Chain A
Amino acid sequence: MVSDQKPLGSWSVKQGQIITCPAVCNFQTREYIVVHDNKVLRIWNNEDVNLDKVFKATLSAEVYRILSVQGTEPLVLFKEGAVRGLEALLADPQQKIETVISDEEVIKWTKFFIVFRHPVLIFITEKHGNYFAYVQMFNSRILTKYTLLLGQDENSVIESFTASVDRKFISLMSLSSDGCIYETLIPIRPTDPEKNQTLVRSLLLKAVVSGNTRNGVALTALDQDHIAVLGSPQAASKECLSVWNIKFQTLQTSKELPQGTSGQLWYYGENLFMLHGKSLTVIPYKCEVSSLAGALGKLKHGQDPGTHVMPRFVNWETPQGCGLGFQNSEQSRRIEDSEKHIEVEVRKFLALKQTPDFHTVIGDTVTGLLERCKAEPSFYPRNCLMQLIQTHVLSYSLCPDLMEIALIKKDVQLLQLCLQQFPDIPESVTCACLKIFLSIGDDSLQETDVSMESVFDYSNSVHDEKMEEQTEILQNGFSPEEDKCSNCDQELNKKPQDETKESTSCPVVPKRAALLNAILHSAYSETFLLPHLKDIPAQHITLFLKYLYFLYLKCSENATMTLPGIHPPTLNQIMDWICLLLDANFTVVVMMPEAKRLLINLYKLVKSQISVYSELNKIEVSFRELQKLNQEKNNRGLYSIEVLELF
C-alpha cells in the first residue's frame, strides 16, 4: 500500500553507529533486519520502539547485504563472498566465515531469485576493471564463477546492474558508462561448474543515458520486456526516469526529476520507488503487455527510425538490419517512409476496429506520434493523425499537443477537423485557430482541402432568394419610421444600393467561410474567450464582423431564420459571436473609419432585434395570462363538488 501520508514506523541507531546494510523484512517472521557498523546484526518487529534494546548479534565478518524474498529465509552475503542462511548464522553468530573472492575483488551488486522454488543468488565483483559474476545455487550448494567480457568497449565502467530471470537464464543487464545497456545471459544450470567460464555481453539499448553522467544512474528490470532507467538522457539535460520497451526498443514513458536523484531505483509491486531531491518518490507503473500498437511512434529523438521494430514482428514492412548514421537527405526520406508505414499500420488497425481496448490504443498511438513530432520537427504524419481524429474517440484533453502542433504547422484542415470533433477545446486554442483562419492568405487557402459542408454557395442563390419583403421580415413588425436614430437612417438611405451590395456578397472566400463556421460551431465560455479576442488585429476583427453580418442577413432572408446548407451556423451562434467581438474590441472598432458602416448596420440590427424581442415579450405575457385563466378553470381549489360518470 502506498501512502502519501506518513511513515508507518521509524527506528534509528544510536549516534556514532552507522547503518552499513539496508534493512530488509523477513517475510516469514515479519521481523526487520539491519546491520550497523558492518558486523552488528539487529532484528526487531513493529512493536519495538527502541532499536538499541532489540535482538543483537555480532558477527565475525563484515556483511555486504542481507537479501530477503518472499517464501524463503533471508540470506546474508558477506563482503568476502561467503553466504549464510539467517537461521544458521544466528545459531552461531561467531562462526568462521570463509573467503570466497580474491584480494582487491569488491562486490558491486547482488540479487536473490527463486527459480523453481530454489533460491539462487547472483553477485557481481570487480577487480582492476574486470567483472566477475558468481551464481550460488542453494539446492546444490554449487558456486559458479564467470568472467564478464566487455567486448569492444574495454574501457567502460559498469554503473548499474539489474537482472531478470526466465526458465534457463538469468538475464543480467548492465548500464555502462558509455550510456548503453548491455545484456548478458547467465545459465542457471552451469554446464561445468568447476571451470572458470566467460560470458560475453550484447548491446541491448544504445545511448539511453548520457555517457558523461557519473552519478544518479540506475536501471531496474520491470518485466521481461521493460526496464526503467534513471539518469540524464543528454549531457546537459535534467535527470529523468524513463521506461523502455526492450523488445521494440522504444521509450514507453519518461518523467523529469528536476531535483536530481541519487541513483537508487527499486520496483516493487507495480510501484517504482526512487529518491528525488530529499524525498522518496513513488510512481505507480504497470507494464502493459508489449505490443506493436503500444510501442508505435514512441521512438525517441536520435534513434534511427528504421530500427524501432525488431525482426520478430512480422507485419512490419521496414527493411531490417539498417545501419547506423544516416545522411540528412536520407533521414528525411526515412521519415517519409516511416510516416507511410505508420499510416499503413494505422489503417490496418482501424480496419479491425472491434478491439476492446480500442480507445486506449488510439489514445496511446496519438500521444506517441505527437511525442515524436515534437522531438523531430520534420516528422508530421498528417494523414495518420487525420484518420485517428476521425475515429471520434479523441478529445482535446487526451492529446493537447495535437492542436498545438497543427497551429505551429498552420494546418487549417487539421484544425478544422479538431474543432469539429473535439468537445473540449480551451478558449485560448479556439482563439488561436481563429487568428490563423483570419490571417492565412487566400492563396495558401486554395491549396488546402477543408471540409465545405457548413458553407452554402451563397453567390448563386443571392438573386433567386432575394425577397421583396426582406426588410419587413428582418424587422418583424418593427417599422423603420419609428426609429429615433434619424442620423443613421439618413445615412443608410443615402446609399441603399451600396448597402445591398455590401450585404449580399460574401466578404470572405468560401474556404475561409468554412473555417470560420467551424469556430462558430465550437463551444466556449464567454469569460474565458473575451480576453483572447482582444489580441486579434483590428482589420481581422472587422473582416470577421463583416462575415457575421453577412451571415445574419442571409439568415433573415427566410422566415425560419436559418441558413441553407448541411450544417450551417445557427442564428444564435452568429449573434453571440457578434456580441463577443464587439465586447472585446469595441474601442478599437469604433476608431476605425472603415468599420463605421458596419457599426451602423449592426446598430440597426440590434435595434430591430430589441423591438422583435419586446414584441415577443408582449405575446408571452398575453399567453401567460391565458394560461392562468385556463389553470384557474382547472384548479378547483381545496374543495369542490364535481360530476363523475363512469362508463
Chain B
Amino acid sequence: MGEFKVHRVRFFNYVPSGIRCVAYNNQSNRLAVSRTDGTVEVYNLSANYFQEKVGCEDGSVKLFQITPDKIQFERNFDRQKSRILSLSWHPSGTHVAAGSIDYISVFDVKSGSAIHKMIVDRQHMGVSKRKCIVWGVAFLSDGTVISVDSAGKVQFWDSATGTLVKSHLIANADVQSIAVAEQEDSFVVGTAEGTVFHFQLVPVTSNSSEKQWVRTKPFQHHTHDVRTVAHSPTALISGGTDTHLVIRPLMEKVEVKNYDAALRKITFPHRRLISCSKKRQLLLFQFAHHLELWRLGSTVATGKNGDTLPLSKNADHLLHLKTKGPENIICSCISLCGSWIAYSTVSRFFLYRLNYEHDNISLKRVSKMPPFLRCALQILFSEDSTKLFVASNQGALHIVQLSGGSFKHLHAFQPQSGTVEAMCLLAVSSDGNWLAASGTSAGVHVYNVKQLKLHCTVPAYNFPVTAMAIAPNTNNLVIAHSDQQVFEYSIPDKQYTDWSRTVQKQGFHHLWLQRDTPITHISFHPKRPMHILLHDAYMFCIIDKSLPLPNDKTLLYNPFPPTNESDVVRRRTAHAFKISKIYKPLLFMDLLDERTLVAVERPLDDIIAQLPPPIKKKKFGT
C-alpha cells in the first residue's frame, strides 16, 4: 500500500479557550458556544454535532446590560445594594428573579419594585463561609425560583411567599450554572468540581400526582469548573474551563439506542488551523492572536515500519507574526511555494511576501489592500501561487492575481441572488482551472476560473461539508460531509463518478459512519491517482479506489501487518480503507511529497498541563 516517512509534529502549542457560555436553540437544534477569548461557535446538533460557524466578531468579551426601557424609565427597579450576577424571567414576563451576593430578589415588572428578598444561607458545611454568591437563577412558570450558589447549594424558593421550599447541598465548591428543560420537568447544574448533576421532577410515589424535584444523576466529564450548562430535549450540554464541550444524551429520551445516544466530547475545532508549504516543507500554525511559521527537519536515514529515524536537521521556528489589535484571527494560509502568507481578522485582511536567502527570511507586508478585502472566512492560494482566492464574509469570492510583490484584483463571484450565505470552504484544482466553494448548507458551487463563470452546482445534500479537495488530472471533486459520507464528483462531467455511485449503493462500513469527529482535510497522491488521503482527529486513512469496499462483516481497521498469511487470504481481506490510528489527536495531515507525510498532533496531556489547576478534592476520606 505504501511506506511513508512521517514528520510527527507535536510543537503546535495550541490550547483551546475555556467555554464561558452555551445556549441551545430548540427550533434549529443548534448550540452556540462562547469561549473566553471572545469567539462564538455554532454547532449543528442535527448534523452530527458539526461545528458550522466560528464568529470572531470581536476579540473582547463585552458585557451587555439589557434593561427594558419601559421599566427603567417609567418606574425604577428598587435599588440593589450589591451586584446582580444572574437574572431569570418568569416565562410570562411578569416577574424577574435576580441573584446577587447573599440574596435573591424577585421584581414585579409592572411596578418595578422588589416584592421579595430571599436571603441565601452563607453556611458551608456548617461553617459560615465568605459571602454566598448566587451564580444562577431559574424562574419556572409555577413561580418556583431555583438558585445555585457558591456554597454548593441548589435551592428551591416560592416566589409568591419568598420562602425557601427545599435545599440540596450538592458540592463542596461553587455551583456555577443552571439550565432548565423547556418542559420544566428536568434541569441541570454544573459545579466547580467538574460535576454535572441532573435534577428531575418525579412523582413522590408511583402513580401519584404529587411531584417533587429529585437529584437523579451525577456526571463527571470535566476536570475543571463547569461554567455553563444547557438542556436540550434529549441531552445535557456542559462546558467550562477545561475547554471540552460535552453533550450527554439522556438515555430515557433517546428513542433509538444507536450511535447518536453516545456521549460526545468536543475538544478540537472542526476546521483547519494549519496550512502547509509543500515545496519548502513549512508549516503555518494559526493561534488566536498570532501565527507561527516552522520549517520541518530532515533525515537521511531509512528504516522499517515503526522506526524512529535519527534527525540530521531538527525543525526550526522561523517566524512569529503577531496581529495588531485585539481581534482574533479567523483564517490563515501559506502558499505552496512558501512565498506568501495571508490571514484575516474580522475587520482587516493581511498579505505578506516572504523572501528566503539561505537561512535568512525576510517579510514584507503588501500594503494597500482594496476595501472589499476586509473580512475573509477562507483564504486559498493556487498551486502555482499566482492566484489568491478569498471567500469574504459578504458571500463574494474574490480572485486576486499575484505577481512579484504586487497583486491585482481579477474578479469577484457574487453570491447567488437570494442567498446571503458566505462560503467557508474552498478548493482549487492543481491546474488552476476550477474553484470549488461551499457554505454550510447551500451546496457546493464549482467555478471556471479561466472563463470566470459558475460551472456547476453539486446536488444539495442534507449535511454540511466538512472538507473538500479537487484531485489532480481527473479534476474529480471529493467532498466529505458531517455525517461521514464521502462523495466523488466529476467536475468536467458534471456528475458523480462511478466509484462514488458504487460507494453510495453499497454504503460505508458502520464503524466508519460511527466516527464522531469530522474529516477536516483531504489530499491526493501525485503518483497514485486511485488514492484519496483523508483524516479526522483520531485516524488517518488512505482510500484505494481500486480495491473492493469493505462490508459490515469485514474488519475495517486492522493495525497488524500481514505476517505469514497466505497471499490468497490477504487478497480476500484487503479492502479500500487503509487506516492508521497511530497519530492522535490529529489536527493536520498532508502529503509533502510522494513518500513523505506530515502529521500534526496535539496530545491532550499537553493541553491539560497548560490549564489552571483544578479545585483540589479530597480523596479516600483523608
Contacts and interface: CB of A to CB of B under 8 A. Distances in A.
Given A647-B1, A647-B561, A647-B578, A642 B307 contact: yes
B2 A641 contact: no
B206 A356 contact: yes
B297 A643 contact: no
A645 B578 CA distance: 10
A643 B309 contact: yes
Contacts of A643: 3-6, 302-307, 309
Interface string A26-47: 0000000000000000000000
Interface stretch (A448-456, A532-540, A631-639): A631-639
Contact of A641 (B3, B7, B206, B304): B7
Of A525, A637, A640, most buried by chain B (CB within 10 Å of CB) is A640
Given A639-B297, A641-B8, 6 more contacts: A637-B10, A638-B315, A639-B11, A640-B308, A643-B5, A643-B6
Contact of B315 (A3, A639, A645, A647): A639
Interface string B296-317: 0111001111111101001100
Interface range on chain B (Cβ under 8 Å from partner): 35 or more
Given A646-B578, A647-B578, A639 B9 contact: yes
A642 B5 contact: yes
B607 interface: no
Contacts of A5: 163-164
Nearest to A645: B305
Contacts of B309: 640-643
A644 B580 CA distance: 9
Contacts of B580: 644, 646
A599 B127 CA distance: 45
Interface range on chain A (Cβ under 8 Å from partner): 20 to 34
Contacts of B305: 643-645
A357 B16 CA distance: 50
B504 interface: no
Contact of A644 (B164, B558, B597): B597
Contacts of B251: none
Contacts of A646: 1-4, 542, 578, 580
A639 B294 CA distance: 12
B562 interface: yes
Interface string B511-530: 00000000000000000000
A289 to B, nearest CB: 11
B161 interface: yes
Given A636-B8, A638-B10, A642-B5, A647 B558 contact: yes
A642 B308 contact: yes
A1 interface: yes
Interface in B1-58: 1-11
B319 interface: no
Of A1, A8, A642, A647, most buried by chain B (CB within 10 Å of CB) is A642
Nearest to A356: B206
B621 interface: yes
Of A356, A641, A646, most buried by chain B (CB within 10 Å of CB) is A641
Contacts of B2: 645-646
Contacts of B206: 356
B410 interface: no
4 closest A-B pairs by beta carbon, nearest first, are A3-B163, A645-B305, A638-B11, A646-B578
B104 to A, nearest CB: 13
Of A1, A525, A647, most buried by chain B (CB within 10 Å of CB) is A647
B360 to A, nearest CB: 22
Interface string B563-584: 0000000000000001010100
Contact of A642 (B1, B6, B314): B6
Nearest to B315: A639
B165 interface: yes
Contacts of A638: 9-11, 315
B383 interface: no
Nearest to A288: B205
Given A8-B161, A647-B558, A647-B578, A641 B9 contact: no
B158 interface: yes
Contacts of B299: 641
Contacts of A4: 164
A642 B8 contact: yes
27 contacts: A1-B163, A3-B161, A4-B164, A8-B163, A636-B8, A638-B9, A638-B315, A639-B314, A640-B309, A641-B297, A641-B298, A641-B308, A642-B5, A642-B308, A642-B309, A643-B6, A643-B303, A643-B304, A643-B305, A644-B3, A644-B306, A645-B3, A645-B4, A645-B305, A645-B561, A646-B4, A647-B561
Contacts of B164: 3-5
A3 B311 CA distance: 75
Of A1, A5, A643, most buried by chain B (CB within 10 Å of CB) is A643
B276 to A, nearest CB: 15
Of B9, B163, B307, most buried by chain A (CB within 10 Å of CB) is B163
A644 to B, nearest CB: 5
Contacts of A644: 3-6, 305-306, 580, 582, 597
A100 B3 CA distance: 112
Contacts of B7: 639, 641
Interface in B132-164: 158, 161-164
Interface string A515-541: 000000000010000000000000000
A643 B3 CA distance: 7
B587 to A, nearest CB: 14
Interface in A594-647: 636-647
A70 to B, nearest CB: 18
A80 B472 CA distance: 109
A645 to B, nearest CB: 4
Interface in A1-26: 1, 3-6, 8
A1 B9 CA distance: 64
Contact of A640 (B3, B8, B158, B542): B8
Contacts of A636: 8, 10, 308
B163 A641 contact: no
B562 A1 contact: no
Contact of B311 (A8, A525, A641): A641
Nearest to A2: B163
Given A3-B164, A5-B164, A641 B5 contact: yes
Contacts of B3: 643-646
Nearest to B558: A647
A90 B164 CA distance: 38
Contacts of B11: 638-639
A631 B599 CA distance: 21
Contacts of B303: 643
Interface in B193-207: 206
Interface string A325-352: 0000000000000000000000000000
A645 B164 CA distance: 66
A433 B315 CA distance: 71
Contacts of B1: 645-647
Interface string B195-237: 0000000000010000000000000000000000000000000
A413 B314 CA distance: 75
Given A646-B580, A647-B558, A1 B165 contact: yes
Contacts of A637: 10
A640 B583 CA distance: 12
Contacts of B9: 638-639
B10 A639 contact: yes
Nearest to B582: A644
Nearest to B310: A641
Contacts of B161: 1, 3, 8
A642 B562 contact: no
B188 to A, nearest CB: 25
Contacts of B558: 647
Contacts of B561: 645, 647
Contacts of B314: 639
Contact of B306 (A1, A3, A525, A642): A642
A229 B578 CA distance: 81
